[in-house]
Structure formats: C-alpha cells, structure tokens
Amino acid sequence: MELPRYDLTPNTYEYETEALVTPNGFREYDARWLFGKEINLLGVEALGFGLGSYFHECGVVPRVAVGHDYRSYSLSIKQALTIGLMRGGCEVADIGMVTTPVAYFAQFAIDAPCVAMVTASHNENGWTGVKMGAERPLTFGPDEMVRLKEIVLGGKGVARAGGSFSRVHDIRVRYLDSVTEGHQLSRPMRVVVACGNGTAGAYGPEALRRIGAEVIEVDCTLDYNFPNYNPNTEDMKMLHAMAVAVRSHGADLAIGFDGDGDRCGVVDDKGDEIFADKVGVLLARDLSAGFPRAKFVVDVKSTGLFETDPVLKQRGVVTDYWKTGHSYIKRRTAELHALAGFEKSGHYFFNPPIGRGYDDGIVAAIAVLEMLDRAGGKKMSDLVASLPHTWGTPTMAPYCADDRKYAVVDALTREYEGMRERGEKLLGQNIARLLTVNGVRVALEDGTWGLVRASSNKPSLVVVAESPSSEANMRAMFHDIDTRLSCHPEVGEYDQKI
C-alpha cells in the first residue's frame, strides 16, 4: 500500500490520485486539519481505512455511528471517511447531519460500539476533523491517537471483508425525545438561544421549547457561511450578540451552543457572561442538594471555588482537578464515578441519572434551566452574586513552539517544587498545594493560585491566575509566573494580558 503524502499541492495530478495527510492533524484526543491544504478526500479515505483497522485491533464489534456537522464540505468528507471504514471491514451506520452529542447518543440508541463524527467543532470554516471513540461514552485519548497515527501514516491498515452501509433516518427525533423526557419547567422562562448558524440550530431551540421555555432564537438558521460570527461560546462576538438579545427581550438568560453542540455558554439576565467554571460551581451547588457528598471533576484551569465555596464544603462535596481537554475530563469523570465533570471551555459531562457521561451542550442547558427553576424565583444574576467573589485573569496564551513548550513547563514545575521543599514563601505565603497532573498549578494558603501548562492544540503555553482574597494577589501571582517565563527566550508574546 502506498503511504499517505504530506507535501501534495492542490490542482495537480498527484493531488487527485494520492492521499494527503499531514502529521500535525493528529491531536491529543481528536483530529483536525485544514481541508484541502493539509488533507484531501483521498487522505480522509485513508484515515477511515486506518480507523476501521484500529477498531478491529481494539477487539470491539466494528459497528460505527458516523455523522457530520453543518459545513459546506462535511458531507463529502464523511462519504470519503465511510469508504475507508467500509474497506477496513466496518459496518457503517450513517446518522446524517447531527451535533457531536447526537453521534454519541447514537452509539447507545443503535447499539454501535464505535463513533466517527466529522466536525471542525467551533473552528473557522476551512477546518475539518473527526472525533472518535470505541468505548462509549468515552472518546480517544493520547494513546489511541498515537496508534491511529501510526496506522494511517505508516500504511498499516488491513483490508477486511464485512464492510457495509446503512442509513438511520430518525436519530434526530429519538435524540430530542430522549434528552427532554421527564423534564418540564414549572414556571415560564424566557430564554435566548444562540447557535451561530451552526449545527445546533437544528436541535437546541426545539429541545428547550419541549421542556417549556419561551425560546428567542438568535442566529439559529443553519448557514455554513457563518455570516455573523463563528459559533464559539468563548467568542466575544457571539457573547455580545447573546447579551444584546437578553437585554432587548428582557430574557431570563441566554444559552449559546458552539458549532457542533457539545459546549454550552451562559449569559445572565443582566447580559453578563458567566464563565463556564462558575456555572459549574452553581450546578455543583444545585446538584449536591439532592446528591449528598457528590463528587465532581473539573479541569486545572477552573476556579478554586470548587474547593473553597462554603456551600460545597458544608455538603461534603469532593472535587478532583484533572487535565484540560474534553476527552480527559470525560474519562476521569467515568473512572471516579463522579456525578458530573466541568471544563472551563464549556464542556459539561453528566453521569447517570442526569446524562450518559459524554459532553452535551443541550443536556447542560437543560440542567442550567432546571437549576434556575428550582431557585425559588431568584434570577440568574442573583445566583452568580451568591458565589464568593474572586478576581481572575482571562485564559492567556503566550507563544511557545511545540517542541519547546513542555520543557518550559517542566522548568517552572521544578522551580515551584524546589520552593515548596525549601519552605520558601510566595507572595508572603506558604505554598499550600502543587498540582502537576497537567502543567503546574501552585496554590497558596489564602486560595490564590496560578497555572502554567502547555496548550494541547497550538504552539503556546496557557497561563491563568485567580485569587479569592484580592485583585492585588491575583496580579501578583500572574506577575510571578510572567517573571519566571521571561527567563526563557523561547516564550514569546501573549495573545492577551491583564
């Protein structure tokens, strides 16, 4: 078998006859390429062939739920992927144009152990990719992605008999019935729903109407040109549109979904964005009232309130801080049998009896609306105001090359570990805790903390700081990290600073 190429030029004979697959597309827990420049349709077919071979290698029944998001090119990419999967001996069940959570749902609904969802998530047009799994409700992590990369780029796929194709026509109805069954708001609630013209527009508004919300649609008409803003719940243009709609319609809150519907963003009744980790604290408060001593998993970028909030402490809530990334948090939430997992980027993972363990923006939105419904007439802004105040930085990303970023993080980790071992003070305080599961998160006695980690998907570091005691301490923690990073010439400019 000929190996995939990574140096083909569009509009050439070779481009139309050979597979283009660049190595950089294989990320820590999914695959992402610029379509046309970094992967072509024959390359996607090679990816499907390798993926089908890997499913067989995993020893699972090779039945695969395959879907695609709403992009102008996603259907053709899915068809190329399907050819490769079938060549690899897989039984492909085409579930059509769906959100990523619907693809995960289909694994349960049609009894498909495997999933391959063609999606660029919230990335700009031009990007494509695949989210994959072979152990529901989990998705691939680094080990699986490394092996898949070896198979695809090494031409190690194995052609097998038994490949087949079928279509599933009713998955949208089955999904909407499932996620809304047993959910009904007890009072009228006016909700702005923003979808950025992405795939979630075909699912989110209908789901929230079914549970009794008065839905005000904002950019919910599907349009793969994304004429207003990118469907990204962390994008300020999307959040601004949500805020404007909340104020103009006098809504109780706004819910936003990203391009493939697995993330959820929230804007309160005043038009203020609520960072997803703070929404997670509110949900943890709400859920722990009915589940004593509940356990939650959050990523290392998340607020320290999960450990210091007096309400959660009183209820004996246990929180595990883990690696950033939807695949990591999903897996950790399953391993610890936690009630839920929250990621600062807006992925929410609910285990039974609330969800099935995978990230689903609509399930998260329903949980937020039900939390507000149970709040005894309080507004969303009231719930936010009830949280202890913290001062936090945005998530900042100073440039650092992929082949240098991990060494820089290791160096800072050693510095902070040395300080703790020697009993040295930081901001005049003892280092109370060092968390090194994903970079280094250093926490002080008053709850002030700072994080440095390597980005999972781009050449940069990630820097975050927060303090429950003062803005001055938050800034001082950031300054300490920034000063240490400045000693490394390979660290460049920040995308933003406080």
Q: Residue 381: which of 480, 253, 285, 220 has the closest Cα? A: 253
Please give the C-alpha separations between residue 33 and each of 28, 49, 78, 119, 209, in angstroms, as whole numbers.
13, 17, 14, 10, 36
Domain boundary among 169, 189, 206: 169
The answer to whether residue 7 sits within a structural domain is no
Assign 349 to helix, strand or coil.
strand
Give yes or no for a cis peptide into 353 (omega within 30° of 0). Answer: yes
State the Cα–Cα distance between residues 342 and 326, nearest whole angstrom.
Answer: 9
Q: Report the distance separating Cα 161 and Cα 141, nearest Å.
A: 28
Residues 287 and 409 in one domain: no
In the structure, what pLDDT confidence band is assigned to residue 497 with cuts at 50, 70 and 90?
confident
Q: Which two tokens stand for residue 302?
A: 């998340």
279 assigned to some structural domain: yes
What pLDDT does residue 122 have? Answer: 86
User: Contact 267/252 with Cβ under 8 angstroms?
Assistant: no
59: which 2 tokens?
A: 């020893």
Q: Which of 224, 205, 225, 200 is nearest to 215 (CA)?
A: 205
The answer to whether residue 217 sits within a structural domain is yes
The answer to whether 59 and 38 have CB atoms below 8 angstroms apart is: no
* 324 and 248 assigned to the same domain: yes
Confidence of residue 158 (pLDDT cuts 50, 70, 90): very high
Percent over 90 (pLDDT), the chain: 95
Looking at the predicted structure, is the pLDDT value of residue 5 above 70? yes
Measuring CA to CA, how many Å separate 397 from each of 344, 374, 482?
15, 38, 11
End position of a domain, from candidates 115, 138, 169: 169
Q: What DSSP state is assigned to residue 388?
A: P
Peptide bond into 137 cis (omega under 30): yes
Q: Is residue 492 part of a domain?
A: no
The tokens describing 211, both together, are 């549970």
Same domain (yes/no): 32, 49: yes
Tell me whether residue 491 is in a domain.
no
pLDDT digits (tens, 9 = 90+) for 294-335: 999 999 999 999 999 999 999 999 999 999 999 999 999 999
Instruction: Verify that 302 and 187 share a domain, yes or no.
Output: yes
* Domain contains 93: yes
What does DSSP assign to residue 359?
B
- Give the whole-angstrom CA distance, residue 498 versus residue 477: 12
Element (H, E) at 312: helix 310-314
The tens digit of pLDDT for each residue in 417-432 reads 999 999 999 999 999 9
Q: Which of 453, 460, 451 is nearest to 402 (CA)?
A: 460
How far apart CA 22 and CA 37 sit, in angstroms, is: 9
Q: Is residue 84 located within the same domain as residue 105?
A: yes
3-state secondary structure of 498: coil
Residue 166 has pLDDT above 70, yes or no: yes
Residue 286 structure tokens:
């709400």
- Residue at a domain's end among 355, 385, 415: 385
Claim to verify: residue 235 and residue 375 sit in the same structural domain: yes
In the prediction, which pLDDT does 230 show? 92
pLDDT for res 295: 98
Phi, psi of 217 (to 5 degrees): -80, 135
Q: What is the pLDDT of residue 496?
A: 86
Count helices and strands (H / E) in the chain. 16, 20
Domain around 69: 13-169
Residue 65 pairs in a beta bridge with 93, 115
Whole-model pTM: value is 0.94
- Write down the pLDDT at residue 203: 98
User: What is the DSSP code (8-state) at residue 126?
Assistant: T
Which of 300, 279, 276, 293 lies closest to 337, judged by CA? Answer: 293
Q: Which residue carries 């809530």 as its tokens?
A: 317
Residue 81: what pLDDT?
Answer: 98
Mean of the pLDDT values across residues 167-194?
A: 97
Tens-digit pLDDT profile for residues 225-251: 999 999 999 888 999 999 999 999 999
Q: Closest by alpha carbon to 284, among 339, 354, 347?
A: 339
Provide the residue count of the chain: 498
| Closest C-alpha among 133, 140, 202 to residue 171 | 202
Q: Which residues contact 261 (CB under 8 A, 6 or more apart)?
A: 99, 100, 101, 102, 198, 199, 200, 203, 204, 360, 361, 362
Spatial separation of the C-alpha atoms in residues 78 and 94, rounded to whole Å: 9
Task: Judge if 165 and 200 occupy the same domain.
Answer: no
- Which ranges in 211-293 belong to alpha helices (H)? 236-249, 276-288
DSSP H helical ranges for 403-466? 405-422
pLDDT at 457 over 80: no
Domain count, the chain: 3
Same domain, 73 and 139: yes
List, in order, residues 6 or more apart from 19 with CB less than 8 Å away: 2, 4, 5, 40, 42, 43, 45, 46
CA triple 351-356-360, angle to 5 deg: 100
Residue where the block lists tokens 């009072």: 187
Q: Are residues 27 and 123 in the same domain?
A: yes
- Would you say residue 1 has pLDDT above 60? no
CATH code, domain carrying 445: 3.30.310.50
pLDDT value at position 292?
87
Which residues pair with residue 451 across a beta bridge?
A: 441, 464
Find the CATH number of the domain harbouring 335.
Answer: 3.40.120.10
Cα–Cα distance measured from residue 55 to residue 92, given in angstroms and rounded to the nearest whole number: 12
* pLDDT for the residue numbered 199: 97
Question: Cα–Cα–Cα angle for 401, 301, 263, nearest 5°?
Answer: 95
Cα separation of 21 and 1, whole Å?
A: 15
Residues 109, 249 within the same domain? no
Same domain, 312 and 364: yes
Q: What is the mean pLDDT of the chain?
A: 96
Beta-carbon count within 10 A of 94 CB: 18
Is 281 within the bounds of a domain? yes
Q: Is residue 6 part of a domain?
A: no
CB crowding 419-433: b at 16 or more within 10 Å, else e: bbeeeeebbeeebee
pLDDT > 90? residue 458: no
- Say if residue 334 is in the same domain as residue 241: yes
Is residue 55 within 8 A of residue 148, CB to CB? The reply is no
With 90 as the cut, is the pLDDT of residue 456 above it?
no
**pLDDT tens, residue by residue, 352-401:** 999 999 999 999 999 999 999 999 999 999 999 999 999 999 899 999 99
